[in-house]
Amino acid sequence: MSVVVLVTSIVVLLVLVMFLKSLRLKHSFETVEPVELIKVDKEIPARHLSEAIRIKTISQSLMEREDYKPFLQFHNWLDKTYPKAHAVLQRKIISEFSLLYLWQGLDTSLKPVLFSSHMDVVPVERSTMDVWEASPFKGEIKNGFVWGRGALDMKHQVVAIFESIERLVEMSYQPKRSIYVTIGHDEEISGKNGARQIAAYLKRKGVQLAALLDEGGMVSQGMIPYVDQKAAFIGIGEKEYLTLNLYAKGSPGHSSNPPRQTAIGVIARALALLDDNRMPARLNLILQTLEGIASLLPFQFQFALANSWIFKPVIIKLLEKQTQTNALIRTTHASTVIKGGIKDNVLPAEASAKVNFRLLPGDTREKVLKNVHNVINDARVKITIDEADAWGACKVSTIQTPAYNTLELIIRQVFGNIPVAPLLLIFATDARHYQEICDHLYHFSPLRVAPEDMKRLHGVNERISVDELVKMVQFFARLLRVWGDAEF
């Protein structure tokens, strides 16, 4: 046998093996039979969400102790709006403003589950007020949407959970396992006085959770390159949050006699070097995500995915094209604050900047800090960790659990037979505070969103479809019953 024939045979065999590997991907999934969902008068949750939005629970104001009354008003509103739910739920106030509810189960041998949410919202920038199509704190209902701050983050989830509990109580439902519902008051500013203190209280009580659900993944389309169909994404972990301070000293004086580089120039150069030298990309959790939606991928993407050991550079190149998927494959950074100078004709005595990092699982603070020092390589720049603005990652939860399996099932029962895939969250939630009392932390907000809707989060024209709000109520009513009765 000639060398050419031998090489050709090996190549053909290799291609055949690679082709067969691509066929083993999950190209289809078992069809889920539809179930009867609770009937919901869509005007009721829409009206209640509208009322909730009108209560200005801005956590920034609370942190500055400017206005805490809206948070107490929100407590009273919940009590008044959901009397049946409050008749069966035991309520405890944590840190003055956060709420912990317990729906006592019939079987105390079963570990409880927890549904996490928060009442606080981010402020609205005054400069954007003219851009809003509806006033951000009036909760207007128009054109089939409820408008206002909190419509997507996350008063919609608070309302949906309580609407579903109210209905289940009307149906005389009683869960087998105990169910906790938490409503934090400071999630948008770290959750250290809300969710963290709730978790500490539960730990002192000896509570160990079977599973937890917080905000996170959604039903979306267009999030992954070349995928235009709908898919659901369940968050199974979060990236670590780290902020570094960069500082440089300068020589103050008159700007007519400048040095080669001012303190501002030193910091600007350091930031430019970081932008030009990103942390390396890695394919870890993203492979689980892609495998979960493999049936929606074009064949060439499936082929590359099934043989990632050889096509890793190609997959990375594809995922780097979009900022959202790029954030799923590497530790990212963003220069967010820069300060320096007091007058246009005075040389700055100092300059500083803040650079925010979101760490991919597997990267550490020490690794990032070492990389930043190596990239900048300038003794004039002092680099330190901003301990006030740094917190650990939310551990990655396994998807091989009954809690995850039932969550996936209910998503498809409510939203149709669509692919469901695990996802690494690139933002932080309150869930990370519960890691010591729960091994299975999942993130899902049950609504359908388009890519343009994501810009409304913390942005202008935040809104939610009235029909999507109904879906949320139906989803939570179903999940509360299934998790409430399942023996896992």
Q: Which domains does the chain have, with CATH numbers?
A: 43-238+394-485 (3.40.630.10), 240-389 (3.30.70.360)
Residue 1 has pLDDT above 60, yes or no: no
**Best CA proximity match to 408, nearest among 337, 323, 475, 339:** 475
Residue with the two structure tokens 């065999």: 13
SS (H, E, C) 181-229: EEEECCHHHCCCCCHHHHHHHHHHCCCCECEEEEEEEEEECCCCCCCCC
Active site residue 187: yes
DSSP string, 66-117: S--HHHHHHHHHHHHH-HHHHHH-EEEEETTTEEEEEE--S-TTSPPEEEEE
Segment 100-112 shows an average pLDDT of 98
Q: Could you read off the pLDDT of 186-216 as tens digits, one per residue? A: 999 999 999 999 999 999 999 999 999 999 9
Q: How far apart are CA 32 and CA 279, in angstroms?
A: 41
Confidence band of 11 (pLDDT split at 50, 70, 90): low
Provide the β-strand partners of residue 422: 234
Half-sphere exposure of 186 (CA within 13 A, CB side): 23
Indicate the helix (H) or strand (E) that contains 1.
Answer: none
CA distance 356 to 335: 6
pLDDT, tens only, 169-190: 999 999 999 999 999 999 999 9
Question: 217 forms bridges with which residues in the sheet?
Answer: 444
Choose, from 120, 186, 215, 238, the residue flagged as catalytic. 120
Q: Which DSSP string corresponds to 155-186?
A: HHHHHHHHHHHHHHHHTT---SS-EEEEEES-
List helix spans (H) across 333-465.
365-376, 402-415, 451-454
Buried b (16+ CB within 10 A) or exposed e, 289-298: bbbbbbebbe
Which is the catalytic residue, given 187, 215, 408, 430?
A: 187
* Amino acid 317: pLDDT: 93
Q: How far apart are CA 449 and CA 232, in angstroms?
A: 10
pTM reported for the whole predicted model:
0.92
**pLDDT average, residue stretch 150-170:** 98
What's the pLDDT band for 389 if we cut at 50, 70, 90?
A: confident
Q: Is the pLDDT of residue 7 over 60?
A: no
Confidence category of residue 19, pLDDT binned at 50, 70, 90? low
Indicate if 363 belongs to the active site.
Answer: no
Give the pairing of strands 240-249 and 381-385: antiparallel
